[in-house]
Amino acid sequence: SAVISQKPSRDICQRGTSLTIQCQVDSQVTMMFWYRQQPGQSLTLIATANQGSEATYESGFVIDKFPISRPNLTFSTLTVSNMSPEDSSIYLCSARQGPWETQYFGPGTRLLVL
């Protein structure tokens, strides 16, 4: 199975600032994703990180707020821009791997915006 790491694991930020979350996969993967999970809620897909092209965003999420980079097949970043308390959440990186395209998740980044 894919091993996915994220940095930072948690952070407390002031409103109006930006935070970049890094995601590293231990092997090359075609598809990487970014999710958000708020307490007691299901996972919500923010965007698909495409290697070599712009990310594909889901309804309700825009590039200006959540810019994503995918420079290669093992790494991606998500930036949460101009943060507000409503952005406080867990942000999870995910990747598909293997013959069955199983989807694996990173440990998540816990963000608290004051």
Partner 1 sequence: RKEVEQDPGPFNVPEGATVAFNCTYSNSASQSFFWYRQDCRKEPKLLMSVYSSGNEDGRFTAQLNRASQYISLLIRDSKLSDSATYLCVVTLPTDSWGKLQFGAGTQVVVTP
The two three-digit tokens of residue 8, written as one number: 């930072």
Q: Smallest distance, Å, CB 38 to partner 1? A: 10
Q: Among positive and negative, which fits the CA dihedral 70, 75, 81, 84?
A: positive
Report the 10 Å Cβ neighbour count for 62: 12
Q: Smallest distance, Å, CB 42 to partner 1? A: 4
Q: Smallest distance, Å, CB 40 to partner 1? A: 7
Q: How far is CA 60 from CA 12, 27, 44, in A?
A: 24, 31, 10
Q: Please say which residue, 40 or 52, places its beta carbon nearer to partner 1.
A: 40
Q: Report which DSSP code applies to 85.
A: G
Instruction: Summarize as ranges the residues that interact with partner 1 (CB under 8 A).
Output: 31, 40-45, 48, 92, 100-108
Distance from C-alpha of 45 to C-alpha of 92, rounded to nearest angstrom: 9
Q: Please say which residue, 81 or 103, places its beta carbon nearer to partner 1.
A: 103
Q: Please say which residue, 40 or 85, places its beta carbon nearer to partner 1.
A: 40
Q: Smallest distance, Å, CB 82 to partner 1? A: 27
